[in-house]
Amino acid sequence: MPEARSRTGTSEGRSVKGGRYKPAKRRVLGQKPPRPLLVVDTSTKPRALRKLPPAAEIMKADDVRDPKVEFTDYAGGDTVTRSLTNAADMSGADSERNVVMMSFNWSCDVSKDGGGTWKRLDPTTIFPNTLAGGFCCDQVVIYVPHADLFVWFLQYNKDTAGQGAFRIAVASSSSVGSSPTNWTYWDFVAGDFGFPTSDMDYPDLAYSDEFLYVSTDVFSSGRVVMRISLKDLQGGGTVSYSWTDPDDGTQCWGAHLVQQTGDRGMWAGQVDNSHLVFFTWPDNSGTYSWGNVTVAAWPNGTLSCPGPDGNDWLKKLDNFPSFAVTGGVEMANGRVALAWSAAMVSQNLPHWPVANSLAIAPRFTFQLEKHLAFEHVTERRPAGMAVRRRSRASCRPFDHHRHHFGVGRDDRWLDGLDRRDGLGKLSVVEHRFSSVKGSVG
């Protein structure tokens, strides 16, 4: 199994208080250069399903057969309007203190009363806008419960040399609730990863027991994954960070990290439409490794799904992130669920495999357990996943390239389908993993 030693560097922490900077002028949408496309080849040795999964069963939950599920809705604040410029690239997280952060292009909203009221934050007034070409505009927010840290990723325009940049900011839940303009932050540019003339885009965040994991596309290479100790971030000073070679991640273009892992970072990419490449980076090692995993062949044709009004809302997805593995989560039983979009003959639905992960060096084994399409649902987004390590499950808000997803302790899927007919209008579907075992390719 191939492996590589991560590289290391340091970054000096800085602090800001009070939101004292002058707001910056917004960049006009569409100025960013076109990104490389992810092409997934058709496998010459495809694996077929041994047994097709049962047809999707649509039924209403009841109190006798199903446990009680409580949903908390953080939508409806007066600061949020229904428009592309406000809703694009949405992200968010909540904490036990009822402090909630919800980010989207250009701005971020904060609530300290569980979504009852909201305060609008302008990142250009909170942080100095002198990094690279200035702020714009992808953001990702997560909350790390065992470190009590909100982590805020902010992307910046490339500088005059073509070098992209991003900023990582952290604050405790109590600080965000009482002083949402007070943050400690660290800056990174593409040159830190060996590409001083390359832009970066499409970020993601995840955490393990000990580390914050950060990933983004490097335009002249592939996907880079960086990690920083959570203890160093809590300290607020100079941090040591490690990163993977972006050239090793060319098949992971546009991919997202596996969420809420235990003792390692994980991510995956597409080799062809019957093989994944899966990466693992143990917390206790400076070496990351990867290997190919055979899965049942899935359709990799054109993504197209016209809505009732004739608008083909999946054309954007066909351009990017296409078939990238945009969803991943480690469940309580140690299994890893991955998700990506797949083309269909009559409609487009997500491709959802479930894998047993024995990600232990020097080798690991995967067993495909699910290859499922829902015939009764015609409007889907590519997948993003999250899991609660508590008895309740939750649907975490994601951006317009993903859909809402949650996994409970009993390994049920709670999938929120974000329909085109209204921002934040969710239909919730529950899937039991046990009902689809046996579809091994």
Residue 377 lies in a domain: yes
pLDDT digits (tens, 9 = 90+) for 273-299: 999 999 999 999 999 999 998 888 888
Q: Which amino acid is at 177?
A: G
pLDDT digits (tens, 9 = 90+) for 204-237: 999 999 999 999 999 999 999 999 999 999 999 9
Quote the CA–CA distance of 438 and 354 in Å, as a whole number: 11
Residue 29 lies in a domain: no
Residue 285 lies in a domain: yes
Q: Which ranges of 186-235 would DSSP assign to H, the alpha helix?
A: 230-235
Residue 441 lies in a domain: no
Residue 204 lies in a domain: yes
Average of pLDDT values for 236-251? 97
Task: Output the pLDDT for position 55.
Answer: 62
Least confident of 90-104, 311-325, 375-389: 375-389
3-state secondary structure of 241: strand
Q: What is the pTM of this model?
A: 0.81
Q: What token pair was written down for 157?
A: 């325009």
CATH code of the domain in which 218 resides: 2.120.10
Residue 125 lies in a domain: yes
Question: What is the percentage of the chain residues whose pLDDT exceeds 70?
Answer: 67
Task: Output the pLDDT for position 432.
Answer: 37
- Beta bridge mates, 201: 217
Does residue 13 register a pLDDT over 60?
Answer: yes
Question: In terms of DSSP bridges, do strands 211-218 and 7-11 run parallel, antiparallel, or are they unpaired?
Answer: unpaired
Quote the CA–CA distance of 77 and 95 in Å, as a whole number: 18
Residue 343 lies in a domain: yes
Residue 249 lies in a domain: yes
If one counts the domains in the chain, the total is 1
In angstroms, what is the C-alpha Rg of the chain?
21
Task: Output the pLDDT for position 277.
Answer: 94
Least confident of 112-126, 213-227, 361-375, 376-390: 361-375
Between 358 and 302, name the one with better pLDDT.
302
Average of pLDDT values for 243-253? 96
Q: What token pair was written down for 300?
A: 């990799």
Task: Output the pLDDT for position 233.
Answer: 98
The range of the structural domain enclosing residue 122 comes to 3-24+34-436
